[in-house]
Chain A
Amino acid sequence: MDWGRAPQRVDAILSTRRLNRLLAHAHGDLTATIEAGATLAEVNATLARRGQCLPLDPPFADRATIGGILATNDSGPLRHRFGTPRDLVIGVQLATTDGTLAKAGGQVVKNVAGYDLSKLVCGSFGSLAAIVSATFKLTPLPRASKTIVVEAPDVETLGQIVRDVMSSQLEPIAFDIHVSDVARLLLRFASLPNVVDAQIEQTLALAALKGLGAPKRQGRDGGCATAVTEDDAERAVWEERSRRMWDSPGAIVRASWMPADLPAALKGATRVTELAGRAAVGAGLIRIDGDVRTQAAAVEQLRHSTSFRHVVIVRGSDELKSIVDVWGPLGDRERLFASLKHALDPNGILNAGRGPL
């Protein structure tokens, strides 16, 4: 509920908590239809019984609901391979402000009949219609998984490793960077056991990685240059990474950047305390410490930088939100959003004032 601006007025809160059923799991077709209020963790626990999952991992999967994840188009490290919710949703049922239930898309993974409104509601923050249920394509759970954690001596080296991995034929399932006082890189491979090992060997043989010293096996990422983790240790590493930023103080923005320009971009962004995100996509979260003025200046600086594309405040004090706009410039899309909002919610009763429309 922290997203966006403060609402202008709240007369009623529509909770989807009791809309929490998995309506259908067509495991042979790798699809599932899920009510909006089900949490991602619940859903994935059920899907796992058939060896499948909905490959999304935004922060707080135990609390995040399917409807919320769609409405915010939120994602995590798995985005590297599977994209964001809009890439996985294939159909949606919506409750519109005129009191009708309408659907778009369908139950099949390939379908171009009609407008793809299931994508339109992604990122809409509930401001166009209420999501009742959605159908997704799923993916089989991998047999084995391992993660390499690399500590780079500086951001330039990190950038070089990112470029090396991007231009290689390695196929990680997740490929993250974390830059704070230390520059880290996490590469996760998931496939058959011997394939995972082969990919790990190939990664360690990359020129930019070789210079960092011999890898330590099976450890937690405690101080050594390169560590390979699996099982519980692997899960702990990713969980810690996903929580870390939210457990630390300061404002958090969602940002996107040109992946190959990252080292130069970070040089320009002097007030950034921590950056974590998808290395090859060029998208993630940035944490900014300091007082509200510093935070506001940092947001402005990122927005003016040519290396960063979109910068949206996802956690910030009311004071911060009163100094800088939460959403930043919407560009040409603003006018189009206004037309859509007017068409679907003419009286402005959905999420009034929270934006982005």
Chain B
Amino acid sequence: MDPAFLNQLQRIVGAGGVLHDPLDVLTYECDGLPHLRMSPAAVVLPASAAEVHDVVRLCARARVPFVPRGHGTGLSGGALPVAGGVLIALSRLNRVLEVDIPNQRVTVEPGVTNLEITRQVAPFGYYYAPDPSSQQVCSIGGNVAENSGGAHCLKYGFTTHHVIGVDAVMPDGELVRIDGALTDAPGPDLLGLIVGSEGTLAIVTSITVRILRRPETVQTLLAAFDTIDAGGAAVSEIIGAGIIPAAVEMMDALAIRAAEAAVHPGFPETDTVLIVELDGPAAEVEALFEIVKDICRRCKATSIEVAADEAQRMRIWRGRKAAFAAMGRVSPNYYVQDGVVPRTKLPEVLNRIRDLERRSGLPIGNVFHAGDGNLHPLICYDERIPGQSDKAVEVAAEILSYCIDAGGSLTGEHGIGADKNTYMPQMFSAADLALMQRVRNALDPLGLCNPGKIFPTPRLCGEVPGPYRAHPVEKAGLAERM
């Protein structure tokens, strides 16, 4: 990188705020998708919105591409550096700026973790609803960029439903305040466009979110079924009965076995388990919970376990949350996808996946957000066996095509990033993508802000969507996948 440019970066953020030695930038080469790697020309660590502004302005003037990065837990290569570009790491912008309990909102810098918001407001009886399972470690800035979800988003919505406004540095270096629909800001919902744009339209430097009052009651049950069809039928009947649970999660036999091996949650040895959680006013939860139990029985549940206390509830959730990382106990390697299907198509698509499993010879575990049809198929393979990692990639691509066939989506919460952009034409026509591209060009005419993501580009050789390896935070036991 041009020394004069580095010098200017240092003038903005101080000498300690710029890394360019290949060894120093090593940790920034990838996010939670470790097979996609690129060494950035420089990593900058601004400590304020003003510094982000100056860095972006400098990049824009020098025509140097830049990539925003939160805490690097993304699962689609969204924070993958661009060759010769600058990686703007936002981890030093980690202040909680305002906690306003009477107006039920909190303003933070993007490097604050998701869980920190709930920690700040829990003493007052409030919480921040979107709950990705990486919530201890992922940043709010990353959540805004990915429109992150979690198990409880079935009832409470995703990040986009909870962001009131942001401050953002636009790709030309302008610092702007963007109020959203929650405050009836007149004009198109720009905030709704920016949330979920995977860091390609703006770098957010402060975020105001709404917080919710803790519900009066929470009740959780674990039901076992002999077939995935029976479990799927129970999900459909619960929704059909007009009940919107706080969460509905499903695990199949392989996932159950893995979770048992890892954290011993005491799950029954069965084909499918369903976790259903209801929350809200005590009278409502009590009444609806009985209906849910009836439905499970009618759908031939072989056992129903109701969490009698908070400890038991946590044990059920531990089993669910561990399932992802626990795959390592039953398979040397695994690769995960994030497709979505309409929830009534779950049994059909899951049966297709089971067929594929038999045909491909690769075991596939399923742990997923059944309530909103968001699949997380875990494809098991052994990279030491020649051809198996390629096979895993093929299998993943085929599963995504089932999701599209069923009228679903390529991704429910992990984003397209650099991982699935080549699949975008399966879901969107050339005209659809051209329209999105026009919107991108309107806000980033020079194409400097996180280029190469979301939109299909020819893959560079050797760059294939690839097998999953445990993310460092997962290895450290800081997060589990959901």
Contact = CB atoms under 8 A, between A and B. Distances in A.
A163 interface: yes
B135 to A, nearest CB: 17
Interface stretch (B25-33, B219-227, B282-290, B353-361): B282-290
**Residue from the set A169, A280, A310 with the largest chain B CB neighbour count within 10 Å:** A169
A114 B423 CA distance: 11
Bin the interface of chain A by size. 35 or more
Contact of B409 (A102, A113, A142): A113
B413 A123 contact: no
Nearest to A312: B186
A174 to B, nearest CB: 16
Interface string B159-175: 01100000000100010
B17 interface: no
**Residue from the set B170, B177, B187, B213 with the largest chain A CB neighbour count within 10 Å:** B187
B160 A116 contact: yes
A21 interface: no
A352 interface: no
B435 A28 contact: no
A211 B178 CA distance: 42
B176 interface: yes
A17 B185 CA distance: 28
B192 A122 contact: yes
B442 A192 contact: no
Given A107-B407, A115-B197, A309-B179, A340 B435 contact: no
Contacts of B436: 104, 114-115, 117
A112 interface: yes
Contacts of B295: none
Nearest to A87: B161
B161 A83 contact: yes
B403 to A, nearest CB: 9
A191 B284 contact: yes
B287 A194 contact: yes
A357 B442 CA distance: 14
Interface residues of B, number: 87
Interface stretch (B51-59, B236-244, B470-478): B236-244
B85 interface: no
**Residue from the set B157, B189, B429 with the largest chain A CB neighbour count within 10 Å:** B189
B2 interface: no
A310 B454 CA distance: 33
Interface string B436-454: 1011111100000000001
Contacts of B83: none
B23 interface: no
Contact of B369 (A110, A123, A143, A331): A110
Interface in A275-291: 280-283
Contact of B432 (A102, A166, A171, A335): A102
Interface in A149-191: 163, 166-171, 191
Nearest to A119: B192
Interface in B171-215: 174, 176-179, 181-190, 192-193, 195-197, 213-215
Nearest to B441: A343
A169 B342 contact: no
Interface stretch (A61-69, A214-222, A250-258): A250-258
A26 interface: yes
Contact of A258 (B103, B176, B280): B103
A112 B408 CA distance: 11
B216 interface: yes
A198 interface: yes
Given A260-B103, A331-B177, A342 B442 contact: yes
Given A100-B435, A119-B192, A332-B177, 11 more contacts: A73-B184, A100-B434, A110-B149, A110-B153, A112-B147, A112-B416, A143-B242, A256-B184, A259-B104, A282-B183, A309-B184
Interface of A: 26-31, 51, 73, 83-84, 86-87, 94, 96, 100-104, 106-117, 119-124, 127-128, 139-143, 163, 166-171, 191-192, 194-195, 198-199, 254-256, 258-261, 280-283, 309-310, 312, 327-328, 330-333, 335-337, 339-340, 342-344, 356-357
19 contacts: A29-B342, A83-B157, A106-B409, A108-B340, A108-B407, A110-B373, A110-B409, A110-B413, A111-B411, A112-B146, A112-B411, A115-B436, A120-B193, A122-B188, A124-B187, A140-B242, A259-B102, A333-B176, A343-B441
